[in-house]
Amino acid sequence: MKPNEAREMSVEDLRAKLEELTTERFNLRFRSATESIENPMRFRHIRRDIARLQTILRERETNG
């Protein structure tokens, strides 16, 4: 997800996407403990997308 795409989303959409990514990260970590993952770089992408969404949400909270 690009930062510009995230900035165009509403707060509710951002929170929903954040919840979705958090669940996906949990499931991916759970699966990695029991089997090999076909795309281990997905961990990095999910982690960065979560951080990006949290940053944008925080910006909106502080700016009004």
pLDDT at 27: 95
Question: How many distinct structural domains can be found in the chain?
Answer: 1
pLDDT at 9: 94
Q: Which pTM value belongs to this model?
A: 0.89
Range of the domain at 20: 3-63
pLDDT at 1: 82
Q: What is the CATH number of the domain that holds 18?
A: 1.10.287
Burial of 1-34, coded b for 16+ CB within 10 Å and e otherwise, reads eeeeebeeeeeeebeebbeebeeebeeeeeeeee
pLDDT tens, the chain, 64 aa long:
888 999 999 999 999 999 999 999 999 999 999 999 889 999 999 999 999 999 999 999 998 6
